[in-house]
Amino acid sequence: MTDIVDELKWRGVIALSTDEDALRKALADGPVTFYCGFDPTAASLHVGHLVQVLTMRRLQQAGLRPLALVGGATGQIGDPRPTAERTLNDPQTVANWVTRLRAQIEPFLSFEGENAAVLVNNLDWTAGMSAIEFLRDIGKHFRVNKMLTKDSVARRLQSEEGISYTEFSYQLLQGMDYLELYRRYGCTLQQGGSDQWGNLTAGLDLIHKMEPHANVHALATPLMTKADGTKFGKTEGGAVWLDPEMTTPYAFYQFWLNADDRDVSTYMRILSFKSREELEELEKQTEERPQARAAQRALAEELTTLVHGADQTAAVIAASKALFGQGELTDLDERTLAAALSEVPHIQVTELGPVVDLFAEVGLVASKSAARRTVKEGGAYVNNVKVAGEDAVPAKEDLLHGRWLVLRRGKKNLAAVEVVGA
């Protein structure tokens, strides 16, 4: 199992850790139970959470036993953000989100065998605890001067808004989680993002004070960033969610397909389960033929399959090909087609007009005269069929699923028209 440390280091998964030699010895001495926490502050996990979820999967495959904690208690408080106080959600909403997140995490882990995963909820050990018990049993072991040095707290203290006592106390709750999981499950390793390092070490300190002979560890993964300076996991439409109702499988696939060449190697090493040899070959292809986007395609297919399943991935790939004339648009189901077309420029009309009008209105060309030139030069397509004449008008029978037209200028410029209220 100690080989997993070398593997994680090669992949760039370890940003921070406590004593590496001690961790290697613990792994060599016997099965290690570890945990990673997820707060239900939204109805779905997003792609940023994949770093933690897939690292858990990797550690379990190496023989460690995972505890996946979805925080029904900490989710009601919220880890301090760098700039502003979180909006508190009501307990019923948080409870609903706990259920949803647990269902999203489950498929990535195995719940069978000697190192079967366990789902836990920190509300189980906090709900019955009184404020007096919390302050006497847990708060007594934290020093305010040290708490003030935590990055998230220090940043907020320097902001105009400051920080509430509620969010200031978050690290006590997370520290108590590690203590409880150590006592209940023999958990000796906590995994989290590097932005959580202060909370991770708070748990270590608490265990060392209350269980002096405990040998416990922490491991932090790096925060993923984009080379262009924008936040990883964000698009113009907002966060890229794992829930298919919040981010369609097509949009999810396109997010990875559109990854910057400067980023894709990092993404693949941290998130992909391909071998070193496979990854190095894909990195070589990206360097030699970046226009082929071989690494992006491989990563998009692997992660879409992991999150949404092989069938959805096949449907998404078929849609991607069909939109560019490499497959039959009529073979696509309505939901997949609608999801794909929502990602390209599109307009809604109540009735069909001439093709040149539609091309100009949706913005594929600058004007109707430009649209006529495109038709005349043979570069205008409707549903992958070349437009024969400048006066062509699509028929109602041309509508895909009775509502869509796919317009294309040349090989790569796509748009869509949706007929509504007809």
Please spell the DSSP secondary structure of 154-181, one letter per residue.
HHHHTSSS---HHHHTHHHHHHHHHHHH
Question: Residue 261 to residues 255, 266, 268, 336, 354: CA-CA distances in angstroms?
Answer: 13, 10, 11, 27, 40
Residue-level pLDDT at 215: 95
Residue-level pLDDT at 82: 79
Residue-level pLDDT at 238: 83
Cα 163 from Cα 6, distance rounded (Å): 39
Decide yes or no: CATH 3.90.550.10 for domain 344-422. no
Length of the chain: 422
Q: What homologous superfamily does CATH list for 3-221?
A: HUPs (3.40.50.620)
CATH number of this structure's domain 224-332: 1.10.240.10
- pTM of the predicted structure, to 2 decimals: 0.91
Report the relative pairing of strands 413-419 and 65-70 from DSSP bridges: unpaired
The residue ranges of every structural domain in the chain are 3-221, 224-332, 344-422
Residue-level pLDDT at 79: 87
Look up residue 313 and give its two tokens.
């991935």
For the chain, 422 residues long, give each residue's pLDDT as a single digit of tens.
Answer: 559 999 999 999 999 999 999 999 999 988 999 999 999 999 999 999 999 999 999 999 999 999 999 999 999 998 888 778 888 999 999 999 999 999 999 999 999 999 999 999 999 999 999 999 999 999 999 999 999 988 888 888 888 889 999 999 999 999 999 999 999 999 999 999 998 998 999 999 999 999 999 999 999 999 998 888 888 887 777 899 999 999 999 999 999 999 999 999 999 999 999 999 999 999 999 999 999 999 999 999 999 999 999 999 999 999 999 998 899 999 999 999 999 999 899 999 999 999 999 999 999 999 999 999 999 999 999 999 999 999 999 999 999 999 999 999 998 899 999 999 75
The single residue listed with the structure tokens 């991607």 is 320
Look up residue 242 and give its two tokens.
């794992």
Q: Angle 389-393-399 (CA atoms, 0-180°, nearest 5)?
A: 125
Residue-level pLDDT at 2: 55
Residues 163 and 85 sit within 8 Å (Cβ to Cβ): yes
Residue-level pLDDT at 422: 56
Residue-level pLDDT at 229: 81
